[in-house]
């Protein structure tokens, strides 16, 4: 690290759990962020601010005016622009030391798995179960850790898959058979800070996994009810018949 980096990251380097070694681990990391909406925006901004070396951004969509209420890495002037371009510009303004690779495509499972195979960690910030299953399968098949967030209305959920932990449940162990309509903000609505809280929790888990301190959420589901400010941490078990991960054990 040079002097500028030591200064920029000084407030987290001074934490014994991170220190110089943890910062260097972050700087050497490649993290994939899929979906640059309400979850992906805070995830991208916090991971860029924290000094993750390379962020790979995936989103085929453009910025719509109705996104601006919660998707905080896009600006009013970005309406109509590709989300990967808008977020790349926000990251460059925040931390020019972060390398960004942008993919403005809807990735089919095989292509998705190729991209997942080249990163240290995957952030699922999407809003469709079919895409979420494909992301989970790619992470299971390539033994890549996954931080998966979801938020709708005034509720949010968070889970972590980590292949390094024995009997870690995957996304399908929990949600197999769920319906796409349960996730879509365009139909159900979502409060601005709800996605912000869950995205920020995703970033917090990501930094922990990259640096390697504490205990991750693996093996649990965090459920947050914003209306009554209730956090619940539920234990999750791997489903031995799960179509996503049964062949890995």
Could you give the count of Cα atoms lying within 13 Å of 165 in the half-sphere of its Cβ? 18
**What are the residues whose beta carbons fall under 8 Å from the beta carbon of 113, sequence distance 6 or more?**
137, 138, 141, 142
Gap between the terminal Cα atoms of the chain: 40
CA atoms within 13 A on the CB side of 90: 28
Nearer Cβ to Zn ion (45/170): 170
Q: Does 219 bind Zn ion (CB under 5 A)?
A: no
Cα 192 to Cα 172: distance, rounded to the nearest angstrom: 28
* DSSP β-ladder status, 230-235 and 220-225: antiparallel
245 binds Zn ion (CB under 5 A): yes
Would you say 26 or 242 has its CB closer to Zn ion? 242
Does residue number 87 form part of the binding site for Zn ion (CB under 5 A)?
Answer: no
**Residue 59 Cβ, how far from Zn ion at the closest point, in Å?**
26
3-state secondary structure of 71: coil
Q: How far is the CB of 161 from Zn ion (least distance, A)?
A: 8
Gap between the Cα atoms of 113 and 109, Å rounded: 6
Closest approach, Cβ 159 to Zn ion, in A, equals 11
Helix (H, G, I), strand (E, B) or coil at 204: helix
Find the binding residues for Zn ion in span 173-202 (CB under 5 A).
173
Binders in 134-173 for Zn ion, by CB under 5 A? 170, 172-173
217 Cα distance to chain centroid: 14
Nearest to Zn ion by Cβ — which residue? 242
* Closest distance to Zn ion from the beta carbon of 31 (Å): 22
Contact segment (CB under 5 A) with Zn ion among 78-86, 197-205, 213-221, 235-243 equals 235-243
- Of 70 and 172, the one with the shorter C-beta distance to Zn ion is 172
**CB closer to Zn ion, 138 vs 173:** 173
Contact set with Zn ion (CB under 5 A): 170, 172-173, 242, 244-245
């Amino acid at each position: 690290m040079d002097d500028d980096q030591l200064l920029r990251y000084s407030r987290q380097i001074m934490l014994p759990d991170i220190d110089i070694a943890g910062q260097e681990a972050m700087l050497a990391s490649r993290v994939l962020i899929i979906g640059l909406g309400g979850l992906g925006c805070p995830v991208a901004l916090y991971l860029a601010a924290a000094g993750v070396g390379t962020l790979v951004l995936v989103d085929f969509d453009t910025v719509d005016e109705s996104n601006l209420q919660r998707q905080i890495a896009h600006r009013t002037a970005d309406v109509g622009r590709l989300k990967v371009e808008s977020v790349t510009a926000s990251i460059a303004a925040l931390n020019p030391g972060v390398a960004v690779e942008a993919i403005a495509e809807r990735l089919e499972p095989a292509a998705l798995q190729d991209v997942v195979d080249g990163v240290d960690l995957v952030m699922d910030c999407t809003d469709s179960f079919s895409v979420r299953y494909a992301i989970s399968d790619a992470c299971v098949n390539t033994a890549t850790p996954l931080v998966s967030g979801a938020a709708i209305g005034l509720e949010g959920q968070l889970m972590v898959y980590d292949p390094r932990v024995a009997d870690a449940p995957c996304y399908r162990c929990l949600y197999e058979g769920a319906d796409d309509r349960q996730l879509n903000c365009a139909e159900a609505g979502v409060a601005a800070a709800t996605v912000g809280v869950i995205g920020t929790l995703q970033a917090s888990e990501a930094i922990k996994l990259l640096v390697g301190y504490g205990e991750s959420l693996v093996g649990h589901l965090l459920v947050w009810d914003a209306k009554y400010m209730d956090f619940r941490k539920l234990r999750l078990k791997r489903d031995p018949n799960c179509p996503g991960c049964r062949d890995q054990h």
